[in-house]
Amino acid sequence: MNIPQLEHTLQKYGVKSPDGNPLGEIKDFNLMFETKIGPNTNSIAYMRPETAQGIFVNFKNMRDFNNNKLPFGIAQVGNG
């Protein structure tokens, strides 16, 4: 469905959030992570969300490893 069709269907069936609140505006967005390649910031690439999952899931471990200070940076190496 495109956005107008989806909005019409949600209104037709009175779909609400699990708490019974009305839903917000439907927006088109990209789930891919935008990143820069190399020293030249004009080279943009997109990565699948699960590629960076480990960085976010393991953030507490990185903070604990760094004596409860925020890490200077976290990098992930591997195939995307």
Per-residue pLDDT of the chain (80 residues; tens, 9 = 90+): 899 999 999 999 999 999 999 999 998 887 787 888 877 778 888 877 776 676 677 778 878 888 888 767 766 666 65
**Residue 57 domain flag:** yes
**Residue 47 domain flag:** yes
Hey, is 34 helix, strand or coil?
strand
**Residue 6 domain flag:** no
**Residue 51 domain flag:** yes
CA distance 27 to 58: 30
**Residue 60 domain flag:** yes
CA distance 45 to 78: 15
**Residue 63 domain flag:** yes
CA distance 48 to 63: 25
Q: What is the DSSP string of 41-69?
A: TT-EEEE-GGGGHHHHHTHHHHHHHTTTS
Give just the sign of the alpha carbon dihedral 16, 21, 25, 27: negative
**Residue 52 domain flag:** yes
**Residue 76 domain flag:** no
Our count of domains for the chain comes to 1
